[in-house]
């Protein structure tokens, strides 16, 4: 029949099956076909991997918050925002420019809604090169009853001023996170102590090194098994040993440790080895230790010698040691 819309005549189950083969960003594009298609893509998946720029074209009544309101369950929510938003801004004019300047604020609104919808895996990545004010995560995040993994890159955390309760959180990844004021350790302490089943923690030391205190690490849950410490410079060896000691005291279940050291021509390389050696001598349950030394003048032969030395001093007979050197 002439003018017949064959696609609209298809049963919803078939359309859902067809959309399931598309990447999320392509499935989202079908929302502009008609009003009946606006929220249809949300029935396809409980895992959303999105770029904020894909939604800036929507009017306020069709924002991602409105889309999420039509979802009763959300397993995974990953949102990234970068300079593509700024490129769109230059093409659209002044009214649209104001909306793009609020990209970070809108992303945090979407995150809050995702948490409210019971998201289990949350991943927020800020890849903008033109830095504006820090985009702080919504405080509702600190009391999620469903969150299992949390990954934050180039965003902010502030002290919630209340008891953190994350009963299901097992994995935390923090990269270049900005902490409001001088509350980095306070925030970390609340986050860790409020996560009783936490198993893996990845963070970078420079932020935590402002005011080294014991409390943040002594609050680590008993079941914590894996810690990765990034960007540890050799000049922090005194703090690094304290850091290791606090984790060992609070979490005897440690199974795996990964550290990346940033070398310096003006500081002895032995300082980093001292941290590692201390860890090996005091961790009976450790199964694997992975070390990487960046910008190091250590030769491959010296690295192999250090590896043999560390192997001979380890307390856990089952521990495997992996060591890599880069000369950037």
Q: Which two tokens stand for residue 100?
A: 């793009």
**How many other CB atoms sit within 10 Å of the CB of residue 213?**
14
Q: Helix count (H) and strand count (E) of the chain?
A: 12, 12
Q: Which two tokens stand for residue 130?
A: 């033109």
CA distance 233 to 39: 49
Do 200 and 255 form a contact (C-beta atoms < 8 A)?
Answer: no
Q: β-pairing, 226-233 with 200-204?
A: parallel
Q: Which two tokens stand for residue 67?
A: 């889309």
CA distance 20 to 211: 49
pTM of the entire structure?
0.66
Cα dist. 16→8, 30, 33, 43, 77 in Å?
12, 12, 15, 7, 20
Position 150 scores a pLDDT of 96
Architecture of domain 1-45: Up-down Bundle (1.20)
Residues 6+ apart with CB under 8 A from 304: none
Question: In residues, how long is the chain?
Answer: 328
Q: Could you give phi then psi for residue 177, rounded to 5 degrees? A: -80, 135
CA of residue 229 relative to chain centroid, distance: 13
CA distance 52 to 301: 48
- What is the chain's pLDDT, residue by residue, as a tens digit (328 residues)? 455 566 667 777 777 777 767 766 677 677 666 666 666 666 665 556 666 666 655 544 345 555 566 555 678 888 888 766 555 444 544 444 454 457 778 888 889 988 988 899 999 998 876 655 678 999 999 999 999 999 999 898 998 889 999 999 999 998 888 888 767 777 887 888 899 888 888 877 544 444 444 344 444 555 566 666 665 544 444 445 555 555 555 555 556 666 665 544 444 445 556 666 666 676 666 777 776 666 566 677 777 776 676 666 666 677 777 777 666 5
- H-helix or E-strand spanning residue 200: strand 200-204
Position 24 scores a pLDDT of 67
Which residues are 175's β-sheet partners? 153
Position 317 scores a pLDDT of 72
* Domain spans in the chain, listed from the N-terminal domain onward: 1-45, 46-198, 221-328
- Of the candidates 212, 189, 107, the one whose C-alpha atom is nearest the C-alpha of residue 152 is 107
Do 303 and 327 form a contact (C-beta atoms < 8 A)?
Answer: no
- Of the candidates 129, 140, 152, 62, the one whose C-alpha atom is nearest the C-alpha of residue 99 is 62
Secondary structure class of 233 (helix, strand, coil): strand
Position 116 scores a pLDDT of 87
């Amino acid at each position: 029949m002439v003018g017949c819309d064959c696609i609209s005549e298809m049963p919803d189950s078939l359309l859902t099956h067809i959309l399931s083969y598309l990447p999320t960003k392509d499935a989202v594009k079908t929302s502009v076909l008609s009003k009946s298609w606006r929220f249809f893509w949300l029935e396809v998946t409980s895992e959303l991997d999105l770029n904020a720029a894909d939604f800036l074209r929507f009017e306020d009544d069709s924002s991602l918050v409105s889309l999420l309101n039509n979802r009763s369950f959300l397993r995974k929510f990953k949102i990234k925002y970068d300079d593509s938003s700024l490129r769109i801004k230059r093409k659209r004019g002044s009214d649209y420019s104001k909306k793009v300047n609020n990209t970070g604020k809108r992303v945090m609104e979407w995150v809050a809604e995702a948490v409210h919808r019971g998201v289990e895996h949350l991943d927020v990545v800020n890849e903008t090169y033109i830095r504006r004010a820090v985009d702080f995560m919504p405080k509702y995040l600190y009391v999620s009853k469903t969150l299992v993994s949390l990954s934050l890159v180039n965003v902010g955390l502030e002290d919630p001023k209340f008891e953190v309760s994350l009963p299901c959180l097992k994995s935390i990844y923090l990269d270049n996170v900005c902490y409001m004021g001088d509350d980095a350790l306070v925030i970390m302490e609340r986050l860790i102590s409020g996560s009783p089943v936490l198993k893996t923690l990845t963070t970078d030391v420079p932020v935590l090194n402002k005011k080294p205190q014991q409390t943040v690490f002594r609050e680590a849950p008993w079941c914590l098994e894996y810690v990765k410490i990034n960007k540890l410079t050799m000049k922090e060896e005194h703090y690094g040993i304290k850091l290791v000691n606090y984790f060992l005291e609070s979490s005897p279940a440690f199974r795996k440790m990964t550290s990346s050291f940033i070398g310096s021509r003006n500081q002895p390389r032995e300082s980093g080895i001292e941290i590692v050696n201390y860890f090996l001598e005091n961790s009976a349950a450790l199964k694997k230790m992975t070390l990487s030394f960046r910008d190091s003048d250590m030769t491959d032969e010296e690295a192999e010698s250090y590896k043999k030395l560390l192997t001979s001093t380890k307390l856990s007979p089952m521990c495997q040691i992996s060591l890599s050197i880069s000369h950037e």
